[in-house]
């Protein structure tokens, strides 16, 4: 069980999605390598088949409309094709890399909408590149596995507040009102959830 | 030595792309100089990747893949991007710095983010020994100290530190460095200045 998300999935199983779909993290990396090195369209098709519906599902849960979610999914997959060579399997899981692309595109889309309302000139935000230390990079794969394992150990309550802090733009006060619990409880649940994830980082030092 | 960092949930929101443009700029400026927090953001991006794996498999319109293939058609000839990483730029680079304006013993300027003109972002410059305006907050105030140091009832903050203050914080920071203290601050909500001078200053700051 992870983060209380799979419980709502139509498949109804509690197996991690990567395994549940018969696609492993290593297979995704293999498909990325085929796209990067050989511009392999069949491999790209399988990546699309795996990620596009999940990006749409992820975005819809974020409150993005179906049409916009499909646009983000398509733009994300076009970026995957264009930047495939920049993906470094030693640094992150394919899902993590694609998550960051989709996230940036969602932020851009929200800003375009604001600018159109204000009639302001289009202008992009310089992308902040997070350069990890070499030490962090070598352990990145292990970190991915540990994060996934830690997520399965969260209580339902911790999972809910962690998910809300990821999926919703609401401040904690509003999350508290929505869940009908005191603000202090929201904060302590976030802290407890973080406390299960954070040791993963400390152990890398 | 950086002692004060953004909270974990703030870094999680940063990683999730869920911080407003102003706070994102302040936290991004902190990340530029703080490897520890960059690693923490990396961790939360892994969480994002795991959430994507677990996301519901939505039905997409049948022609989405064919359309995408058409879009990548012309991209095949594109030269391979350089693998070399450019030196990371500070998110403050490229933002216009208007001249400082003086008000009630401190200097300030409001930054306009071209990609988010509504964001409340200011820079404050306060001389050694000077007090900053006494204020409380509606929402959260994110402050990155760019130069100098100050203290309030809760602690001491030096260049490189990032401080978050919410509605429970009512403070009047005092600059105690030898040099002027320069801070970058952004607000999720409205800042409420206290005292006569503060109330006078508020409309000028556009807050």
Looking at per-residue confidence, does A89 or A11 come out higher? A89
B78 pLDDT higher than 70:
no
How would residue B76 be classed by pLDDT, with cut points 50, 70 and 90? low
pLDDT tens by residue, B5-41: 998 878 888 998 888 889 999 999 999 999 889 888 9
CA distance linking residue B201 with residue B207, whole number of Å: 9
A159 pLDDT higher than 70:
yes
Burial (Cβ within 10 Å: 0-12, 13-18, ≥19) of residue A79? middle
Three-point CA angle A175, A177, A183, nearest 5°: 70
SS3 string of B91-112? CCCCCCCCCCEEECCEEEEEEE
B59 vs A53: CB contact, 8 Å cut-off?
A: yes
Domains of chain B by residue range? 1-86+98-207
Looking at per-residue confidence, does A186 or A16 come out higher? A186
Strand partners, B122: B110, B185
Q: Rounding to the nearest 10 degrees, give the CA dihedral for residues A111, A117, A119, A122.
A: 20
Residue B77 confidence (pLDDT): 46
B78 vs A99: CB contact, 8 Å cut-off?
A: no
**Beta-carbon count within 10 A of A19 CB:** 12
Three-point CA angle B114, B28, A65, nearest 5°: 65
> Average of pLDDT values for A146-164?
82
Looking at per-residue confidence, does B105 or A6 come out higher? B105
B189 pLDDT higher than 70:
no
Mean pLDDT of chain B: 83
Structure tokens belonging to residue A119 = 């009639």
Structure tokens belonging to residue B12 = 């999680």
Residue B183 confidence (pLDDT): 94
B87 pLDDT higher than 60:
no
Q: Look up the pTM and report it.
A: 0.81
A170 pLDDT higher than 90:
no
Is the Cβ–Cβ distance between B104 and B197 less than 8 Å?
yes
CA-nearest of B135, B132, B99 to B207 is: B135
> Average of pLDDT values for B83-99?
76
List B residues 101-120 in contact with A (Cβ-Cβ < 8 A). Answer: 113-118
Strand partners, B108: B101, B124
CA distance linking residue B30 with residue A140, whole number of Å: 22
Looking at per-residue confidence, does A194 or B7 come out higher? B7
The CATH-assigned architecture of domain A154-205 is: Orthogonal Bundle (1.10)
Burial A166-205 (b: 16+ CB within 10 A, else e): bbbeeebeebbeeeeeebeebbebbeebbebbeebbeebe
> Average of pLDDT values for B60-87?
74
How would residue A3 be classed by pLDDT, with cut points 50, 70 and 90? very low
Residue A131 confidence (pLDDT): 46
Residue A172 confidence (pLDDT): 76
On whether the B1-86+98-207 domain is CATH 2.30.110.10, my answer is no
Measure B206 CA to nearest chain A CA, in Å: 18
CA distance linking residue A49 with residue A43, whole number of Å: 10
Residue A90 confidence (pLDDT): 86
Strand partners, B103: B106
Domains of chain A by residue range? 6-132, 154-205
Which letter does DSSP use for residue B85 in this model? Answer: P
**Hey, which CATH number is domain A6-132, 1.25.40.10, 1.10.10.10, 1.10.1740.10, 1.10.8.60?**
1.10.1740.10
List B residues 165-194 in contact with A (Cβ-Cβ < 8 A). Answer: 188
Measure A165 CA to nearest chain B CA, in Å: 6
């Amino acid at each position: 069980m992870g983060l209380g998300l799979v419980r709502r999935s139509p498949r109804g199983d509690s197996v991690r999605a990567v395994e549940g779909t018969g696609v492993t993290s290593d297979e995704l990396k293999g498909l990325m390598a085929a796209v990067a090195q050989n511009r392999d369209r069949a491999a790209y098709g399988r990546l699309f088949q795996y990620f596009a519906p999940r990006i749409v599902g992820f975005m819809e849960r974020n409150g993005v409309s179906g049409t916009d979610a499909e646009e983000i999914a398509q733009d994300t997959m076009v970026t995957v094709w264009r930047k495939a060579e920049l993906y470094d399997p030693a640094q992150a899981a394919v899902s993590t890399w694609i998550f960051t692309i989709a996230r940036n595109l969602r932020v851009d889309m929200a800003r375009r909408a604001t600018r159109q309302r204000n009639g302001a000139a289009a202008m992009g935000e310089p992308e902040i590149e997070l350069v990890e230390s070499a030490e962090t990079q070598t352990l990145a794969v292990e970190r991915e596995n540990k994060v996934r394992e830690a997520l399965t150990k969260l209580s339902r309550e911790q999972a809910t507040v962690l998910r809300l802090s990821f999926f919703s733009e609401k401040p904690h006060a509003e999350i508290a009102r929505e869940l009908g619990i005191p603000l202090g409880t929201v904060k302590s649940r976030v802290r407890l959830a973080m406390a299960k994830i954070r040791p993963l980082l400390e152990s890398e030092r | 030595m950086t002692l004060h960092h953004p909270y974990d949930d703030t870094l999680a929101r940063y990683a999730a792309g869920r911080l407003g443009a102003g706070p994102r700029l302040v936290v991004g400026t902190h990340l530029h100089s703080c490897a520890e927090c960059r690693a923490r953001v990396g961790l939360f991006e892994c969480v994002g990747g795991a959430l994507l794996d677990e996301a519901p498999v939505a039905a997409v319109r049948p022609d989405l893949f064919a359309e995408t293939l058409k879009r990548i058609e012309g991209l095949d000839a594109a030269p391979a991007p350089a693998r070399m990483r450019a030196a990371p730029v500070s998110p403050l680079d490229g933002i216009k710095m208007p001249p400082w304006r003086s008000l009630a013993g401190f200097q300030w300027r409001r930054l306009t983010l071209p990609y988010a003109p509504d964001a409340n972002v200011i820079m404050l410059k306060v001389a050694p020994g000077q007090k900053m305006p006494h204020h409380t907050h509606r929402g959260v105030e994110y402050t990155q100290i760019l130069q100098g140091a100050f203290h309030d009832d809760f602690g001491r903050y030096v260049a490189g530190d990032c401080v978050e203050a919410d509605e429970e914080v009512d403070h009047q920071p005092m600059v105690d460095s030898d040099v002027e203290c320069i801070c970058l601050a952004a607000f999720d909500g409205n800042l409420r200045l206290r005292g006569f001078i503060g109330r006078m200053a508020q409309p000028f700051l556009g807050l």
